[in-house]
Amino acid sequence: MANTKTDEKLQKIAKDLLESGEVSLIIGYTKGSNSQRMRPLFVTRTEDADKLSFSPNAVQDLAVFLKKAEVKKFGKIGIVVKGCDEKAVNALIQEYQISRDNIKIIGVECNGVIRQNIADKGETNVSESTVYDKCLICEEHIPVLYDFLVESEEPKLVLSGKVKPYSEIARLESMSSEEKNAFWANEFDKCIKCYACRQACPLCYCSRCIVEKNTPQWIDTNSEETGNAQWNLIRAYHLSGRCIGCGECERACPVNIPLMLINEKMAIDVYNMFGYKSGLDINAKPVFGVFSENDFNDFIK
């Protein structure tokens, strides 16, 4: 497939950055294993920059690679990010995982990415019924922070309001505790503990995850009722106030657990309680990293 204008702009930026020595690695997208898939590309040589591309199939959050030791070795890195993914970069900077000085943010204006499972079945249209829920509530079609911006050639996403993003949250909120329990027991029963949720998450960067610690054994090792529930709930709590909503955990999950219902609910609750949204400001302190006298404290009874 021919280069789009977006592709050309990306390639030019990457080439310039590599040539000038400002970065030694560019993490971007390239065409994937079928015409409806994109995949990560690691460019260290200017001649490979021509393979960079972007499309509504660029589903991956490439910020996930910033936590990887093999990638960190490159030092100064340029990264292609959508608005949602860019928030992960910000959160990583806020949490001192990466330094702003070591990263060149190549922001891409994004008007929604097509859900991968339907793209695999041939869906090519970007519309409110084909994109992820995160795209329907997106307020960062243009990343909040960037060193370079590549504007989109795609038409803006038209929202009729007919498709209700994360509508399951409202349904779950209306349930009794027993019903909620039954809902999640059914979902967690599917979990196989492949840890794709953790590995695909740009903010799950612990060098040794709590699930891998056994003195004491915090989380049952089984992949049954207890182990699965403990794992998914503890992970959810570790992401509360931090999750930037890229939805990679849910996309990576091979057994389709609706993990974003938890993460999005947590994000809504944190916003309602603390007025904080994760990943919007690199100078803000992480919400659970600071104490304020005005903090919500109704839970103390």
Partner 1 sequence: MENIYLPKLAEIKEIIQETADTKTIRLTIDGGGIDFLPGQFGEFSFMGEGESTFGLSSSPLRKEFFEFSFRYSGRATSGINSLNQGDKIAFRGPYGNYFDTSKMKGKNLVFVGGGIGMAPVKSIMEYCLDQRDDYGKITILYGARSVNDLLYKNIFDEWKKYKDTELIVTVDPGGETSDWTGKVGFVPTILEQLPLKGENSIAIVCGPPIMIKFALKSLEEKMGFDKADIITTLENRMKCGLGKCGRCNVGSVYVCKDGPVFTAKELESLPNDF
Partner 2 sequence: MEEKYFEISGENLKSFIERIIADDFEVIAPIDKDGDTFYGKINRFEEANLDILLPKMSYKEYLLPKTETLFEYSFSGVNTDIKDGLESVAGANQKRVIFGGRPCDAGAGPIMEKVFNWDFKDEFFNERFKNLTIVSIACEKPDNYCFCTEMQLSPESSYGSDVLLKKAGDKYFAIVTGEKGLNLIKPYINLFKEITKDKVPAENDWKKLFEIEKTKSFLDKNFEHNYFQQRFLSCIGCGVCTYTCPTCHCFDIQDEGNLKEGRRIRNWDSCQFGIFTLHTSGHNPRVTQGDRYRQRLMHKFKIYSEKFDKYLCVGCGRCSRNCPEDIDIKEVAKDLADMA
68 binds partner 2 (CB under 8 A): yes
State the minimum distance, in angstroms, from the CB of residue 216 to partner 1: 8
Q: For partner 2, which residue of 192, 206, 210, 290 counts as binding (CB under 8 A)?
A: 192
User: 3-state DSSP call for residue 8?
Assistant: helix
Q: Which of 138, 165, 166 is nearest to 152 (CA)?
A: 138
Amino acid 275 reads G
Rounded CA separation 201/85 (Å): 10
Question: Which strands make up the sheet holding 25-31, listed edge to edge?
Answer: 38-43, 25-31, 77-81, 103-108, 148-150
For residues 262 and 277, give the distance between their C-alpha atoms in angstroms, rounded to a whole number: 15
**Residues 27-46, interacting with partner 2 (CB under 8 A):** 32-34, 37-42
Separation between Cα atoms, residue 155 and residue 150, nearest integer Å? 14
- Using CB under 8 A, which of 176, 214, 292, 294 touches partner 1? 214
User: Which 233-272 residues touch partner 2, going by CB under 8 A?
Assistant: 248, 251-252, 254-256
Partner from partner 1, partner 2, none contacting 168, C-beta within 5 to 8 A by type: none
Q: Which of 217, 292, 294, 297 binds partner 1 (CB under 8 A)?
A: 217
Task: Write down the residue that tokens 């859900």 correspond to.
Answer: 115
Query: Which token pair is 41?
Result: 């590309």
Q: Which partner in partner 1, partner 2, none is near 71 (CB below 5 to 8 A by kind)?
A: partner 2
Q: Which tokens hold the place of 273?
A: 């309680």
- Considering CB distances under 5 to 8 angstroms, the limit depending on partner class, which of partner 2, partner 1, none binds residue 172? none
* Nearer to partner 1 among residue 217 and residue 292 (C-beta): 217
Kindly state whether residue 207 participates in binding partner 1, applying the rule CB under 8 A. Answer: no
Pick the closest to residue 144 from 280, 28, 283 (CA basis). 280
Count of residues near partner 1 by CB under 8 A: 4
Q: How far apart are the first and last CA of the chain?
A: 62
The binding site for partner 2 (CB under 8 A) comprises: 32-34, 37-42, 60, 64-65, 68-71, 117, 120, 192-196, 198-200, 208, 212, 220-224, 227, 248, 251-252, 254-256
Interface contacts to partner 1, rule CB under 8 A? 214-217
